[in-house]
């Protein structure tokens, strides 16, 4: 189980970075930051926040939890680390929802004019 969760977090981090890179490519293809709407700017910022959150918060919690499972650390830490990881995943999903809503707002703004 520990390897599967670790692999899932790594893949998620890789795809977060790829999302940022593809977003930057599209922005510069369209003519740069000055030519895209505020929703794109906000969405890119939220995506950066997601990658930072995953790298510094979720990976840290997961490493501590994995250490308890693999190396036999203090098992009393498991409930609190599990709750922290669960809350952290919830925050991450909320950020994804924010990005998706910004995409919809961008699309609505394009079709309104």
Quote the pLDDT of residue 80: 92
- Dihedral of CA atoms 56, 58, 59, 65 in degrees, nearest 10, equals 130
46-90 confidence digits (pLDDT tens): 999 999 998 899 989 988 888 888 888 788 888 998 899 899 999
pTM higher than 0.85, yes or no? no
Domain of residue 45, residue span: 2-112
Please say if the pLDDT value at position 94 is more than 90: yes
Q: How many domains is the chain built from?
A: 1
């Amino acid at each position: 189980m520990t390897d599967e969760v670790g692999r899932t977090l790594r893949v998620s981090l890789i795809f977060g970075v790829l999302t940022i890179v593809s977003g930057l490519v599209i922005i510069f293809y369209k003519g740069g930051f000055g030519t895209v709407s505020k929703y794109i700017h906000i969405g890119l910022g939220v995506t950066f926040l997601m990658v930072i959150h995953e790298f510094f918060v979720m990976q840290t919690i997961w490493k501590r939890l994995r250490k308890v499972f693999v190396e036999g650390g203090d098992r009393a830490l498991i409930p609190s680390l599990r709750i922290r990881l669960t809350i952290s995943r919830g925050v991450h999903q909320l950020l994804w929802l924010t990005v998706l809503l910004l995409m919809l707002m961008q699309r609505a703004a394009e079709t309104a004019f």
